[in-house]
Structure 1
Amino acid sequence: MPSYTLSVLDLEVSFKAKADHTRVLKAKELLEERYRELTQHGRRLSKEKLLTFLALGLADDLLQSTRKLEELDGKLSGLLTKIDNGGTP
């Protein structure tokens, strides 16, 4: 498993992950981009509060993506059932 040491939002973090280097860098870039957006659109909040809002936003994104994936999986299962039954539900 590859090891990484990154500077993320002025914090140095070291960790191991199964993800490849490109994926780790994209995650870091997303985090930093969202953090910049929060700091530009809000009043002066502590870094801890901004990171909490950032974590909540990313968690919400994950929940919404999971819900959409489940909906698509249900639709796909329905279509496969129709195909297996010769086009009838």
Structure 2
Amino acid sequence: MPSYTLSVLDLEVSFKAQADHERVQAAKELLEDRYKELTQHGRRLSKEKLLTFLALGLADDLLQNKEELADLMERLANLDAKIDQAEALTTGV
């Protein structure tokens, strides 16, 4: 498992992950971009509050994506069942 040491938002972090370098870099860039967006809007907040808002936003994105994935999986299962029914009708099974 690769080890990483990154400077993220002026904090140095070291960790091991099964993700490849490109994915780790993309995650770092996403965090930094979203943090930058938060600091540009509104009043000055502490770094801790901004990081909390950032974590909540990312958690919300994850929950929405999980819900969308579950909906898509259900739709695929329904389509698969319809295909099986159509095949059964055409083959007489």
Structural mapping, 1:49-60, within 5 Å? 49-60=49-60
TM-score, normalising length: structure 2: 0.92
Question: Offset of 1:22 from its aligned partner?
Answer: 0.1
- Percent sequence identity over aligned pairs: 74
Instruction: State which structure, 1 or 2, has the greater radius of gyration over its C-alpha atoms.
Output: 2
The list of structure 1 runs, each at least 4 consecutive aligned residues, that deviate by more than 4 angstroms after superposition, is none
- For 2:37 and 2:11, the matched residues in 1 are separated by 18
- Alignment match, 1:12: 12
Tell me how many residue pairs correspond in the alignment: 88
Question: Offset of 1:75 from its aligned partner?
Answer: 0.2
Structure 1, unaligned runs of 5 or more = none
TM-score, normalising length: structure 1: 0.96
Question: Offset of 1:86 from its aligned partner?
Answer: 1.1
- Alignment match, 1:33: 33
Structure 2, unaligned runs of 5 or more = 89-93
**Aligned-CA RMSD value:** 1.2
